[in-house]
Amino acid sequence: MASDGAGNEASAEVGAGDVRAVVGALPDIGRHEAGGWLVPGAAALAIAALPLVLSPYAQDVVVRIAIYAIFALSLELLVGATGLVSLGHAAFLGIGAYVTVRASGDSGGSLALLLPLAMGGAAAYAVVVGALSLRTRGVYFIMVTLAFAQMAYFVVHDTKAGGGSDGIFLYVKPTLAIAGKTLLDLGERMPLYYTVLAALVATYAFIALLLGSRFGHALAGIRVNEQRMRAAGFSTTPYKLAAFVIAGALAGLAGLLLAVKDGAVNPELLSWHESGAVLLMVIFGGIGSLRGAVIGATCFTLLKELFQSEALLGSLASHWQLTLGLTIIAFVAALPRGLIGLGARLRVMRPGGLAKAGARPSR
């Protein structure tokens, strides 16, 4: 990533290990989770085998979950890794989706072209929003990101170029062809399934490697104590902006996949309900854990599916927001550290478990 290089220049005189020296021991994300790469790898293989046993409808749900997991992972890079709470992340998902549909036109597009366009479009807006909103911090940052997402919402909702409140259809799904031979047609079920899965694996691995790198350590340092990082000579804003732009680009990837899967886009993709929902996924799973983001996206999507199911809940299904809202309140009140934290909690509750589980991390 070009932005990574910019960060390196900004503080070339500070060596890789020095972040630790500056802010002390860092609770790394994704590195010291039980099982290392084993658990995510096994999970990916299991998902790859799922179409053997699942109905087409259930496969559809899995694809949606995987797309939202990419979206949640991209936000985790901001919220969990850098400590930036953005409430406008849906804007980047929506931009990725709208760019995909607009660039496909009536005759369909090539994935090789759409992918950089969708991610680049989202990243470009992230550069603008990031440069402005990173001038603020804390609760201001929350409000400013929300406001700029709303601006993007108004653009697609109100203007002809944006397609208006009904959205736009994607008539021909993208393909990937080399020398006239079609390698991948996302209009079919199986290629889409495995493309989404591959995108999820790639996103997960990319963020995990990023967080393990020097760049990731700098982000962790900023999250734990930005003041001290600055005092040690790190120019923190380029790092935060780089994280913001990378997160935006990855959300754009999720947007592309969502547009292809649904075959349509509408302004609700950019709405602040969507931004709130993805923040919830991150929290649901547990902040500070990549696995948590995936688990959170899974649980949230399944919960929504459950609360909207008329077969299970009858007339209550039409009021799913009520059940969802009450569940969120109960959940955040009872499990402030998310589902990942649940495991630690249970360990503590076991006899003699307190010493093993150790002190709670600083966040």
Q: Enumerate binding residues for other proteins (CB under 8 A).
A: 79, 85, 87, 132-133, 135-136, 138-140, 142-144, 146-148, 150-151, 154-155, 157-160, 272, 276, 279-280, 283, 287, 319, 321-322, 324-326, 328-329, 332-333, 336
Between 109 and 248, name the residue whose CB sits nearer to other proteins.
248
Distance CA 248, CA 339 (A): 25
Tokens of 80: 């969990």
Burial class (CB in 10 A: 0-12, 13-18, 19+), 297: buried
For the chain, report the end-to-end CA distance as a whole number of angstroms.
29
Write down the least CB distance from residue 285 to other proteins, Å. Answer: 13
Question: Considering beta carbons, is residue 7 or 338 the nearer one to other proteins?
Answer: 338
At its nearest, how many Å lie between other proteins and the CB of residue 63? 25
For other proteins, the closer of residues 133 and 203 by Cβ is 133
Q: How far, CA to CA in Å, does 119 sit from each of 92, 104, 123, 210, 340?
A: 9, 14, 6, 18, 30
- The residue (of 23 and 91) whose beta carbon lies closer to other proteins is 91
Residue-by-residue DSSP string for 188-252: SHHHHHHHHHHHHHHHHHHHHHHHHSHHHHHHHHHHHHHHHHHHTT--HHHHHHHHHHHHHHHHH
- Among residues 83, 65, 129, 76, the alpha carbon closest in space to that of 279 is found at 76
220 backbone dihedrals φ, ψ, rounded to 5°:
-60, -40
The kind and range of the H/E element at 260 are: helix 236-262
Instruction: Select 244 or 272, whichever has its Cβ closest to other proteins.
Output: 272
Minimum distance from CB of 178 to other proteins (Å)?
A: 41
Question: Looking at beta carbons only, is 135 or 347 nearer to other proteins?
Answer: 135
Shortest distance in whole angstroms from residue 119 CB to other proteins: 23
Name the minimum Å distance from CB 143 to other proteins.
Answer: 4
Tell the smallest beta-carbon distance from residue 322 to other proteins (Å).
4
